[in-house]
Amino acid sequence: MLNKLLAKLKEAGIDDADTTLDVLCAYVKKTDYSSVRLSRITGSLSLTDGEKEKLDTLVSARCGGEPLEYITGEREFYGFLFKCRKNVLIPRNDTEILVDAALEFLKDGDALLDLCTGTGCVGISIAKTKKIKAVLADISKDALECAKENAERLLPQGNAEVICHNVFCDIPKGLFDAVTANPPYITAEEMTGLPADVKNEPSLALFGGEDGLDFYRTIAKRYRQFIKKGGRIFFEVGAKQSESVAEILEKNGYSDIETKKDYGNINRVVSARNDQ
C-alpha cells in the first residue's frame, strides 16, 4: 500500500514525495517522523486498517493541492513548532531571514510591532529568543486566532499581545524599537500562475496589488511615526522587489538601507533606520 501511495504522490508532482508520505504516516500513527521514516525504509512499518484508510484520504487531499501544513496543522519555523490552519499563511523557511535580521538589531527590553503576523511565527520567534515585548497584528480573524494560540503555547510568560489591525487605516498604541512585516507581495500577474497548493492559501495574505508593492508603500509611509528615533523597519520582500522596496524606504525618509539574502542567495529582507 505504501508503495502505491508513494507513486500516487509522485504522479501528482508532489515535491519530496517520500518526506510527505513519512510526515503523513507519522501524523496518522501519532508518532515521531524519524521512527516512521526508518521503519518505512526498512519495511517494518505496520498500519491498522483504520490508519490505512485515513492515510489514503490524506494522501488524496495532498495530491489534490491541500498544503501539507493544513493537513497536519503544524509547521516548524526557527526551531519552534507552530500551529497552522486554513486561511492563514504557512510559514516559510526563507522568512527565518527576517527573524535573523531583526534579532541582530533588537536588544532585551525592546518593543516590536509585527505587522501581517499570520501564525505569529516572526514576532513569536523573536520574543522566544530575546526578552522583548511583541505586538502581533493582523486583520484576518483566522490569523489572529492562530497567532493567539501559538503565543499562548510558546510564550507562556505573556510577552506578546495579539491585536486586530488594518495597516491601511488603524493606529497602533505607543512607539516601537522595530517594526517587522512579511506583507502580501504577489503581483496580479504572479497570482494567476501560483502552484496548486499555494492557491489554497488565503489570497488576503498573498496579493500585494498590481505590482505587489501596495503594502510596502503604505507601511513605509504610515508607520515611520510609530518607530522610535534610531529604530528600524524590516520587510520581507519578493525575489525581484528588493530594489523597489529600498527606493520606497528612501523616498519616505529612511536611511541606512540594508538587504539580507535568503538561503537561495536571493535578496529577501530589506531594512532601514528611522532618524526622525
Residue 203 has pLDDT above 90, yes or no: no
Residue type at position 204: L
What pLDDT, on the 0 to 100 scale, is given for residue 276? Answer: 84
| Domain boundaries defined on the chain | 2-64, 85-273
Q: What is the mean pLDDT of residues 120-140?
A: 97
- Assess contact for 233 and 249: CB atoms under 8 A: yes
pLDDT digits (tens, 9 = 90+) for 251-275: 999 999 999 999 999 999 999 999 9
What pLDDT, on the 0 to 100 scale, is given for residue 200? Answer: 86
* 3-state class (DSSP) for residue 228: strand
Cα–Cα distances (Å) from 17 to 4, 14, 68, in that order, read 12, 6, 11
pLDDT digits (tens, 9 = 90+) for 142-154: 999 999 999 999 9
What pLDDT, on the 0 to 100 scale, is given for residue 196? Answer: 80
Binning pLDDT at 50, 70 and 90, where does residue 1 land?
confident
CATH superfamily placement of domain 85-273 = Vaccinia Virus protein VP39 (3.40.50.150)
- Assess contact for 169 and 142: CB atoms under 8 A: no
